[in-house]
Amino acid sequence: MIDVRSVTKQYGAFTAVEDVSFQIAAGEIVGFLGPNGAGKSTLLKMICTWLPPTKGSISVAGHDVVADPLAVRRVLGYLTEHNALYETMVVEKFLRFAGRLRGVRGAWLEERLAWVTDKCSIGDVLKKRVNQCSKGYRQRIGLAGALIHDPQVILLDEPTHGLDPLQVVAFRDFIRELSEERAILFSSHNLTEVSSISERLLIINRGELLADAPLAELQQRATAAGHDLEREVLDIVRAARGELGAPDVTDAPEVGASA
């Protein structure tokens, strides 16, 4: 459902993403792992039609992001790292507005509103203004807005940011439930977070895709090498930089436990 082929994104002389290719099918939860500034958000913005690729092609559910961006937006839900919420709107009105923007109206809108309210656990704040809600609630409101139109493809950029530990666990269960008929790309710089929910990992650093492998395969490779998954990921990043064995890991993905 997501098909990225030889995609490069340049800003003048700077290359943010270079020759990246991968595919994600319905039913897959794929973790997109890399340090801050690795190119994850740039790729997500290209997939969701915010940015055009400089080279290569991207299609979502069969729709090209450049040739048919409106069709892509109809089938895609995107939760950005920093929620684009209307601060002074009442939560319920915001969700109705988000639904209507995506063509959801009438009985279908009422059905979808009830569904996202329940699944995202935002019933307590429906009548509040967005700016009266806590950080955790705002993240859940953003997720509800991304799902209001029942998208086939879901992009999640640091989605558990601002959630407490119990909410994180509930969120993971919810995403697994959603994945049965959808393609989900879960972006984070935290290995613990990504590996707790993903079946496959894409590892990116400095705009280059370093690995695309099932999580189980990476874990097996780590075991065979006599170390853990964290070390395996760090070694992939170091090897790509020509620094295998070097102690400096400041540009590597975060591997510590998440909240």
pLDDT per position as a tens digit, 85-109: 999 999 999 999 999 999 999 999 9
Strands in the chain per DSSP E: 2-11, 14-24, 29-33, 55-60, 63-64, 76-79, 153-157, 183-188, 200-205, 208-214
**Is the pLDDT assigned to residue 256 strictly greater than 70?**
no
Strand order in the sheet with 29-33: 76-79, 153-157, 183-188, 29-33, 200-205, 208-214
| Section 57-77 average pLDDT | 96
* Residue 214 pLDDT: 95
pLDDT computed for residue 161 by the predictor: 75
pLDDT digits (tens, 9 = 90+) for 226-247: 999 999 999 998 888 776 655 5
Bridge partners of residue 20, in order along the sequence: 7
The closest alpha carbon to 81, from 44, 26, 119, 121, belongs to 44
What are 18-53's pLDDT values in tens digits? 999 999 999 999 999 988 888 998 999 999 999 999
Which long-range contacts (C-beta less than 8 Å, at least 24 apart) are formed by 109-112? 112/148, 112/149, 112/150
pLDDT(254) > 60? no
Position 189 confidence tier, pLDDT thresholds 50, 70, 90: confident
Average pLDDT over residues 70-77: 95
**pTM of the full structure:** 0.87
Averaged pLDDT, 195-201: 92
Q: What is the mean pLDDT of the chain?
A: 90
Asked if 24 contacts 4 with a C-beta cutoff of 8 angstroms, the reply is: no
> Tell me, what's the pLDDT at 142?
93
SS3 173: helix
CATH code, 2-87+152-240: 3.40.50.300
pLDDT value of residue 249: 46
User: 248, 234 in Cβ contact below 8 A?
Assistant: no
pLDDT tops 70 at residue 248:
no
Phi-psi region of 158 (alpha: psi -120 to 50; beta: other; left: phi over 0): left
Residues 55 and 76: their CA atoms lie apart, in Å, by: 22
58, 5 Cβ separation under 8 angstroms: yes
Given a contact cutoff of 8 angstroms between Cβ atoms, the answer to whether 29 and 199 are in contact is yes
Domain ranges of the chain: 2-87+152-240
